[in-house]
């Protein structure tokens, strides 16, 4: 009996210890994240309600004035619209193309590692540098796309599009570059989902005589759905909040036709020096992030239950 | 069943497979091929409109690379990037390794919630935080200093690395620590002397991931740094080398290629682990 008591006491001390050790080990990381993500985020909200500028040290509370001014600014609405078009069109393309590419990569064939390496390049190379490659490809005078199209006879002698200089083409170009950048991530995520489908399900379907399309839409697509959603959510976050592609390729031009919220916030807040307006503009990114986070939470809860 | 019925069908399906892959590979890798050929072309060849631009019409040259390393601060930017990268990796390891272990082993129900909370902060983008940061950095007197980047970058490396490490520590059998603790080590001792050493693959993944995130980062460096000698590669090349009307395309493409390819090769080995980290919860 005394041995039991000793063990119980030791156990209790042990549990208490563990609990404190757990908190102690995680505290530095949590403090760092709160100080460098939570605090600046609150500050962003505060700035958006103030008249902060780069030059002055003092700031005053001005309520919702900045938001009212932004709402009256046509460039803001244009940026919001562009950001939505940019995100939606590129993500629809990414999901469809990534699904096709993942199905093609799911087979075994010679040289697969090389193909995978080449396909991953756009994702793993630093974004700003990869995009400079496209800046050269879209060059108004030496564009290799135009040269190639003319060489194979698609473009006549009078056709020479200026990819980044004409409004509609500029939007199409930045969307294409964004698809190029995010396609590899979505592909490897979907590929991971495909390879997690148990082989006996595929075998059972084959025995039942399911053809390619039936198999695709009745088995593959439903089973890969959750993971496609993960790829899509990351794609939405990375595209909607991105300014690198726009900054390097068009700086929002021509005439703000490729200006998105993130780049507009940068040009207003940092280059224009109007921190308050910049903060207010960038906060319009937040609702989308909340939506994405809510979906992630739902999925995490479901994964916990099953 | 329909797919494999006749040799013709099989041949067609194989051909289709090849065409699809070829199209995707061209789309993804062409810009890098184009960087490669541009890097070694001489300037006259680059701006001549007569020859076939896909080939070398004049003999290949190393002049563009000479300009890059001798006449620009590219070498300096590389060193800056490595300094920032190593510092951020060190901070990330110190913070994320204990945090990941705590979430994997020592936390109860609140651990699960906290882990998801930490993961979600990874979704808050630099484009919301860079405006308040520009002032915070000024208040610390760190504007135009590489230390501003060392301070801020862990705010996005720590959340994801904690998450990755938590997943990694969960795969280590509990018996190993229990055996060490029976042998007289404390819980912390078991973690530090037994678990950490056998977790080297996980730690290596985190090192690579944190380092590549630093090399990719653009927005903060663009915001905080103003003098060209303090740039990192990802900002120095697109802002400083692309200034003005004269573009040194050969040198620019060389700079992009030199940085991209080594990272791509290293990253390639670890990609499956990152994907596992991205998709925890969705794949079981």
Residues A106 and A31 in one domain: no
CA A65 to chain B, closest CA, distance in angstroms equals: 18
pLDDT value at B39 more than 60: yes
pLDDT value at B4 more than 60: no
Quote the CA–CA distance of A164 and A174 in Å, as a whole number.
8
On chain B, the residues whose CB falls within 8 A of the CB of A44 are 128-129, 131-132
By C-alpha distance, which of B184, B181, B123 is closest to B156? B123
A183 versus B57: which is more confidently predicted? A183
Q: Which residues pair with B280 in a beta bridge?
A: B283
Query: Which residue do the tokens 């404390």 mark?
Result: B186
Q: Encoding tokens for residue B50?
A: 């007569």
Which residues contact residue B104 at a Cβ distance below 8 angstroms, ignoring those fewer than 6 apart?
B165, B166, B167, B169, B170
DSSP string, A92-152: HHHHHHHHHHHHHHTS--TTHHHHHHHHHHHHHS-HHHHHHHHHHHT-TTT-HHHHHHHHT
| pLDDT per residue of chain A (306 residues) written in tens, 0 to 9 | 456 656 666 555 554 567 778 888 888 999 999 999 999 999 999 888 888 877 777 778 888 888 888 889 899 999 999 999 999 999 999 999 999 999 888 888 888 888 888 998 898 888 888 898 898 888 887 888 888 888 887 887 777 788 888 888 899 999 999 999 999 989 988 888 887 777 788 788 878 877 778 877 877 778 788 788 888 888 888 899 888 999 988 888 788 888 999 999 999 888 888 888 888 999 888 888 888 888 877 876 776 555
Name the residue among A33, A241, A306 with its Cβ closest to that of B159.
A33
On chain B, the residues whose CB falls within 8 A of the CB of A32 are 95, 154-155, 158
CA A235 to chain B, closest CA, distance in angstroms equals: 11
Q: Encoding tokens for residue A10?
A: 């030791």
Residue A19 lies in a domain: yes
For A167, A218, A219, A224, A258, the CA distances from A198, given in Å and listed in that order, are 48, 15, 11, 12, 44
B58 versus B98: which is more confidently predicted? B98
Question: What is the CATH classification number for the domain harbouring A123?
Answer: 1.10.3720.10
Mean pLDDT over residues B194-205, rounded?
A: 87
Residues A260 and A141 in one domain: yes
- A45 interface with B at CB cutoff 8 Å: no
Q: Taking the CB of residue B150, how many other CB atoms lie within 10 A of it?
A: 19
Q: Encoding tokens for residue A71?
A: 């709402």
Residue A62 lies in a domain: no
Which percentage of chain B shows pLDDT scores above 90?
A: 19
pLDDT value, residue B2: 47
- The structural domain count of chain A equals 2
Report CB contact under 8 Å: B24, A109.
no
Residue A53 lies in a domain: no
Residues A200 and A275 in one domain: yes
pLDDT value, residue A13: 59
Residue A54 lies in a domain: no
Report CB contact under 8 Å: B114, A30.
yes
Quote the CA–CA distance of B241 and B119 in Å, as a whole number.
36
By C-alpha distance, which of B134, B152, B137, B140 is closest to A276? B134
pLDDT value, residue A180: 94
Quote the CA–CA distance of B68 and B61 in Å, as a whole number.
13
Quote the CA–CA distance of B38 and B249 in Å, as a whole number.
7
pLDDT value at B48 more than 80: no
Residues A158 and A274 in one domain: yes
Using left for φ > 0, alpha for ψ between -120 and 50, and beta otherwise, residue B56 falls in beta
pLDDT in tens, B96-133: 999 999 988 887 777 778 888 888 887 788 888 988 89
Query: Chain B residue with minimal CA distance to A193?
Result: B283
Q: Encoding tokens for residue A229?
A: 């959603």
pLDDT in tens, B233-250: 888 888 877 765 567 888
Residues A71 and A34 in one domain: no
pLDDT value, residue A199: 78
Quote the CA–CA distance of A20 and B96 in Å, as a whole number.
17
- What part of A 58-117 touches B (C-beta under 8 Å)? 97, 100-101, 104-105, 107, 109, 115-117
Using left for φ > 0, alpha for ψ between -120 and 50, and beta otherwise, residue A213 falls in alpha
Q: Encoding tokens for residue B36?
A: 């490669």
Give the 3-state secondary structure of residue B282: coil
Residue A264 lies in a domain: yes
- CA dihedral sign of residues B57, B59, B64, B65: positive
Quote the CA–CA distance of B31 and A131 in Å, as a whole number.
9
CB pairs under 8 A between A and B: 304
pLDDT value at B86 more than 90: yes
For A18, B146, B232, the CA distances from B79, given in Å and listed in that order, are 43, 11, 8
CB B172, CB B198: distance < 8 Å = yes
- CA dihedral sign of residues B15, B18, B24, B27: negative
Q: Taking the CB of residue A43, how many other CB atoms lie within 10 A of it?
A: 19
Run of H or E residues at A16: helix A2-33
By C-alpha distance, which of B147, B165, B170, B2 is closest to B83? B147
pLDDT value, residue B283: 45
Helices (H), chain B: 7-39, 43-47, 63-66, 74-101, 109-121, 126-139, 146-152, 154-170, 174-182, 187-190, 196-198, 200-216, 219-224, 233-235, 249-278
Residues A33 and A109 in one domain: no
On chain A, the residues whose CB falls within 8 A of the CB of B284 are 196, 303, 306
- A188 interface with B at CB cutoff 8 Å: yes
CB B219, CB A244: distance < 8 Å = yes
* ipTM of model: 0.84
Residue A43 lies in a domain: yes
Residues A263 and A135 in one domain: yes
Quote the CA–CA distance of A84 and B263 in Å, as a whole number.
31
Report CB contact under 8 Å: B124, A109.
no
Domain that holds residue A25: 1-48
Q: Taking the CB of residue B154, how many other CB atoms lie within 10 A of it?
A: 25
By C-alpha distance, which of A74, A68, A118 is closest to B29? A118
Residue A294 lies in a domain: yes
pLDDT value at B211 more than 60: yes
Mean pLDDT of chain B: 84
pLDDT in tens, B250-282: 888 888 898 888 888 888 888 777 777 766 544
Instruction: Give the rounded distance of the alpha carbon of A249 from its chain centre.
Output: 18
B68 versus B207: which is more confidently predicted? B207
Q: Which residues pair with A154 in a beta bridge?
A: none
CA B235 to chain A, closest CA, distance in angstroms equals: 7
Is domain B73-278 classified as CATH 1.10.3720.10?
yes
């Amino acid at each position: 009996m005394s041995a039991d008591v000793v063990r119980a006491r030791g156990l209790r001390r042990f549990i208490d210890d563990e609990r404190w050790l757990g908190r102690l080990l995680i505290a530095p990381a949590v403090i760092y994240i709160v100080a460098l993500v939570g605090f600046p985020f609150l500050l962003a909200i505060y700035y958006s309600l103030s008249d902060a500028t780069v030059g002055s040290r003092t700031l005053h509370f001005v309520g919702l004035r900045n938001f009212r001014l932004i709402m009256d600014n046509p460039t803001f609405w244009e940026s919001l619209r562009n950001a939505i078009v940019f995100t939606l069109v590129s993500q629809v393309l990414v999901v469809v193309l990534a699904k096709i590419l993942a199905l093609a990569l799911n087979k075994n064939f010679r040289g697969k590692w090389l193909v995978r390496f080449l396909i991953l390049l756009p994702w793993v190379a630093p974004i700003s540098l990869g995009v400079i490659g496209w800046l050269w490809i879209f060059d108004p005078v030496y564009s290799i796309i135009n040269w190639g199209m003319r060489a194979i006879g698609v473009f006549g002698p009078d056709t020479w599009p200026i990819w980044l200089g004409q409004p509609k083409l500029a939007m199409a170009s930045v969307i294409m570059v964004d698809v190029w950048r995010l396609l590899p991530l979505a592909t490897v995520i979907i590929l991971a989902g495909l390879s997690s489908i148990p082989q006996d399900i595929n075998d059972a379907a084959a025995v039942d005589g399911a053809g390619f399309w039936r198999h695709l839409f009745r088995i593959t697509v439903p089973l890969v759905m959750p993971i496609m959603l993960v790829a899509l959510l990351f794609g939405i976050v990375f595209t909607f909040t991105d300014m690198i592609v726009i900054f390097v390729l068009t700086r929002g031009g021509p005439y703000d036709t490729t200006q998105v919220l993130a780049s507009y916030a940068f040009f207003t807040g940092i280059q224009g020096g109007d921190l308050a307006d910049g903060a207010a503009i960038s906060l319009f990114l937040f609702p989308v992030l909340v939506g994405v986070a809510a979906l992630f939470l739902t999925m995490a809860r479901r994964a916990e239950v099953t | 069943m329909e797919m494999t019925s006749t040799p013709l069908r099989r041949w067609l399906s194989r051909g289709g497979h090849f065409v699809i892959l070829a199209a995707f590979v061209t789309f993804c890798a062409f810009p890098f091929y184009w960087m490669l050929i541009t890097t070694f072309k001489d300037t006259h060849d680059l701006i001549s409109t007569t020859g076939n631009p896909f080939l070398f019409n004049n003999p290949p040259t190393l002049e563009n690379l000479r300009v890059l390393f001798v006449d620009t601060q590219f070498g300096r930017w590389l060193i800056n990037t490595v300094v920032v990268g190593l510092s951020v990796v060190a901070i990330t390891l110190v913070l994320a390794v204990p945090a990941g272990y705590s979430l994997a082993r020592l936390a109860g129900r609140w651990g699960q919630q906290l882990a998801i909370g930490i993961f979600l902060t990874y979704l808050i983008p630099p484009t919301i935080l860079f405006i308040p940061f520009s002032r915070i950095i000024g208040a610390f007197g760190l504007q135009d200093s590489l230390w501003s980047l060392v301070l801020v970058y862990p705010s996005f490396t720590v959340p994801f690395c904690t998450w990755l490490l938590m997943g990694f520590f969960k795969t280590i059998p509990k018996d190993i620590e229990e055996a060490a603790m029976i042998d007289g080590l404390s819980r912390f001792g078991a973690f530090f002397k037994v678990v950490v050493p056998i977790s080297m693959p996980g730690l290596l993944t985190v090192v690579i991931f944190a380092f590549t995130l630093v090399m990719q980062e653009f927005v903060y460096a663009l915001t905080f740094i103003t003098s060209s000698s303090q740039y990192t590669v990802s900002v120095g090349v697109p802002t400083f080398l692309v200034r003005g009307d004269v573009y040194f395309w050969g040198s620019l493409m060389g700079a992009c290629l030199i940085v991209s390819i080594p990272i791509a090769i290293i990253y390639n080995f670890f990609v499956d682990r990152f994907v596992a980290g991205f998709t925890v919860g969705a794949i079981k």
